[in-house]
Amino acid sequence: MNLPATQDQPKTQLGRFFFAKEVPFGVALVRMLLPLAAGTPMFMRFPRVRELYTADGSTVQMFELFGHGAVLPVLPPNLAVPLYSLLLICLLMAVVGFRTRLSLGIASTLYIYFNFLDGVGTMTKYSVIASHLLVLLTVSNCGAVWSVDAFLKKRAMGGANVTLPTFAVWPARLIQLLFAHIYFGAAITKIQTDSFFSGEQMRYWMLSNWNYENPVGEVMAMWAPMLLVSAYMAVVWEMMFPFLVWRPIGRLVVLGLGATFHFMTWLTLGLYIFPAICISGYFAFASERDVIIVRQFFRKLNIQRFFSWPVVAGKQVLARMPQAVPAAVVWSCLAAFCAIVGTEAELRMDIYGANTAEGGYRLKPMDATVARAMISKEQRVREQDKFFNFEIGTRTVGELLANRRSEFQFGELMLAQANLNPPHEDMWLECLLVDEENRTIEQFGQFVTRDMLRANFSYKFGNKLVPGNYQMVLKSANQEIYRRKFALNGTPEPTANNNTLLTN
């Protein structure tokens, strides 16, 4: 196919922004990637369709969480399972671009419907973004290129070397504006969250496994300066995204930072689907000129032959399809076949034992010890569980200890910082300086109110000590919580009057 010739474009800047005509390469790329990213968790939930989305299960509609009751109808399994199977096959057919608009329309409707039925688990931030993107892809012409529909259209025209079609770019612009508003709104939210800029929020998320395992995040969570710098960089990037992404150079910068940001969320926070969906949507920013540049680059490297086999194999399969059979008939047969197969597969898996002689698995009695622990009076939180860590160093960045030290010199100011886990009550904390023989040299304390997340103790090494090994001990409620060893080196500073003892 050949690229189209330059056509008359709208004369106003706003008109060109929304209605300039281009080959829809960008939305076509989104079409090929987004259904795979959004469909991955939906495929994983297929064995649990009966539990999550049917009248036999325990649906919690999004409307119910806001006090509006059950607005959507909850279908029985014999209807919900075939519709769920239809959703999955429509997502796959959207990827290859077979009856693209119909597939995307059905997939968007069913995706939103099933997500709304499970407001507790299925409806998340990424499913909201994916729902908007699927709807926008439905009204776009994303199936005009790189699709089965485009191949069938070319074959119907006798295989002529036709010019690539052009359409108004407003669907791609709406996707771009969607991301601009998402990031700007996220920045406004973060600005009002103190714990985000202090690093606590990110640190606790990195240390948790709420999403998936993230061993890299558990290590990086201890680098307080990195958390602070990353927090400020993220907010600045989100604030500048709507203003720079429309500029040629700014677009490369903010999209590159965005891809890096989402990659790091996968690496450090255990997020998989959310970054995949966002990066898939980034391809809507690709223009016709970008695709031409990338295509020429690959042609110079002469590596396109290594990636052409799927296209060649697909064309061979399509070429053997009889032209007398309408594509609509083939699509309908595939949809019906997959709905039937999905229903049969769900029945045969029978993970709930509905087809057993008992008519379902019976609940097993709970261990009596566990049951008593669950219904007994609320247990008090252990004193050591109220604290996250206790470290010693010499400097802070954004109120967090930036360096951990185990050796100090005379004249330096030691900072001992205790980080607490919320929530906690008003507390009195003590910090003790002890020598190698565990004799207390100094003892100081402070009140920590319930809204505080850290307590700082400072100690200036004067001539009161001698070189040697010491320890800083943190105590709460007269219990030892942490103990940090350190060495004091150097020579005490001389005093003007040897009879005068300097305080520390």
Q: What is the pLDDT along the chain (504 residues), one digit of tens a residue?
A: 556 655 567 778 888 889 999 999 999 999 999 999 999 999 999 999 999 999 988 899 999 988 888 899 999 999 999 999 999 999 999 999 999 999 999 999 999 999 999 998 888 999 999 999 999 999 999 999 999 888 888 877 766 666 888 999 999 999 999 999 999 999 999 888 877 877 778 888 888 777 777 878 888 887 777 888 888 899 999 999 999 999 888 899 999 999 999 999 898 888 899 999 999 999 999 988 888 888 887 777 776 666 666 666 666 666 666 665 688 888 999 999 999 999 999 988 888 887 777 777 788 888 888 888 788 777 778 899 999 889 999 988 777 888 889 999 998 999 999 988 888 899 999 999 999 899 999 998 999 998 888 899 999 998 788 899 999 999 999 999 999 999 999 888 765 444 433 344
Supply the pLDDT for residue 304: 62
Match 């729902």 to its residue by tokens.
131
Q: What would you report as the CA-atom Rg of the chain, rounded to the nearest whole angstrom?
A: 31
Q: Does 178 lie in the same domain as 137?
A: no
Q: Do 389 and 426 meet the contact criterion of CB atoms below 8 Å apart?
A: no
Amino acid 427: pLDDT: 93
Range of the domain at 222: 170-286
In a domain, 378, yes or no: no
pLDDT at 8: 65
281 and 393 together in one domain: no
Q: How many domains does the chain have?
A: 3
Query: 475 vs 168, 320, 383, CA distance in Å?
Result: 68, 78, 10
Q: What gap in Å lies between CA 418 and CA 388, rounded to an integer?
A: 8
Q: Report strand pairing: 400-401 vs 21-22.
A: unpaired
Is 177 in the same domain as 277?
A: yes
Shared domain check, 213 and 350: no
At residue 195, what are phi and psi to the nearest 5 degrees? Answer: -65, -20
Is 154 found in the same domain as 18? yes
As to burial, measured by CB atoms within 10 angstroms (0-12 exposed, 13-18 middle, 19+ buried), residue 326 is exposed
Identify whether residues 431 and 477 lie together within a single domain: yes
Q: Does residue 495 belong to any structural domain of this protein? A: no
pLDDT at position 503 is: 44
Which of 482, 483, 485 lies closest to 387, judged by CA? 482
Asked whether residue 119 falls in the same domain as residue 4, the answer is: yes
Do residues 153 and 174 share a domain? no
Residues 223 and 190 in one domain: yes
Gap between the Cα atoms of 237 and 231, Å rounded = 10
Segment (H or E) for 388: strand 387-393
**pLDDT at residue 324 in the model:** 57
What pLDDT score does 141 carry?
Answer: 94
